[in-house]
Amino acid sequence: MNGLMSYRRFGRARSLRSDRASARAVTELRLELGRYVATERNERSVAMSRLSFGSSSVAT
């Protein structure tokens, strides 16, 4: 019985480590995607403000 309990205990510990590693990977992926989305949004807003600025200066 001791061997079985030991196996279960270590199996669960391995599972918890795996869960933590997976959670860390997901968090890092979210951070990377967040940076990408923020960069895309900033570039678009800069491009739109340049377009609107350019069109208003042409109309004047």
DSSP annotation string for 1-60? -HHHHHHHHHHHHHHHHHHHHHHHHHHHHHHHHHHHHHHHHHHHHHHHHHHHHHHHHHH-
What pLDDT is recorded for position 45?
A: 56
What is residue 31's predicted lDDT score, i.e. its pLDDT?
A: 76
pTM for the model: 0.31
Per residue in 1-60, pLDDT tens? 455 555 556 566 566 667 777 888 888 877 777 766 655 665 555 555 555 555 444 444
